[in-house]
C-alpha cells in the first residue's frame, strides 16, 4: 500500500502548526514523561534528549498524518463532485424563493 500517491503532491502542504502535529508531539512527549515516572526518575528533568527526540518524532508523524488526511478528503470530494456531474437527474437544482415566499404560511399567534 502506498502511503501517499503522486496525486497528493499537487495538494497544498498543511500548515506547520496543525492540530495533529502538536497533539501527537505532546502524546509522544507524555509517553517519555510517564516512562520516567514508572522507573522512578525525575519526570521532567531526566532524559531531556529522549523527550526532544520523541516530541520531534510525534510532530513529524502528525504532519504526515495531516497530509494523508488532506489527500483522502480531497479524493472523496473529487469523487462526489464527479458523481454529481455524471448523474444530474438525481440532484436537481433547488428552486430559488424569496424571503416573502418562505413566510407565506406563517400565522401570527397574537
Q: Are 66 and 20 in contact (CB under 8 A)?
A: yes
Which are the contacts of 64, defined by CB distance < 8 A and separation ≥ 6?
3
Q: Is the dihedral of CA 35, 47, 66, 9 positive or negative?
A: negative
Give residue-wise pLDDT tens across range 55-100. Answer: 999 999 999 999 999 999 999 999 999 999 999 999 998 888 888 8
Q: What is 54-84 written as a DSSP string?
A: HHHHHHHHHHHHHHHHHHHHHHHHHHHHHHH
Give residue-wise pLDDT tens across range 27-52. Answer: 999 999 999 999 999 998 989 999 99
Angle at alpha carbon of residue 18, lines to 45 and 44, rounded to 5°:
5
Residue 79 to residue 82: CA distance in whole angstroms = 5
Question: How many DSSP H helices and E strands does the chain contain?
Answer: 3, 0
Amino acid at each position: 500500500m502506498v502511503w501517499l500517491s503522486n496525486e497528493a503532491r499537487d495538494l497544498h502542504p498543511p500548515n506547520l502548526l496543525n492540530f495533529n502535529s502538536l497533539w501527537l508531539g505532546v502524546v509522544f512527549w507524555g509517553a517519555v514523561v510517564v516512562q520516567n515516572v514508572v522507573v522512578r526518575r525525575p519526570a521532567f528533568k531526566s532524559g531531556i534528549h529522549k523527550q526532544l527526540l520523541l516530541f520531534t518524532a510525534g510532530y513529524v508523524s502528525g504532519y504526515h498524518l495531516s497530509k494523508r488526511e488532506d489527500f483522502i478528503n480531497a479524493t472523496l470530494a473529487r469523487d462526489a463532485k464527479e458523481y454529481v456531474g455524471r448523474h444530474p437527474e438525481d440532484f436537481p437544482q433547488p428552486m430559488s424563493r424569496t424571503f416573502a415566499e418562505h413566510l407565506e404560511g406563517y400565522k401570527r399567534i397574537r
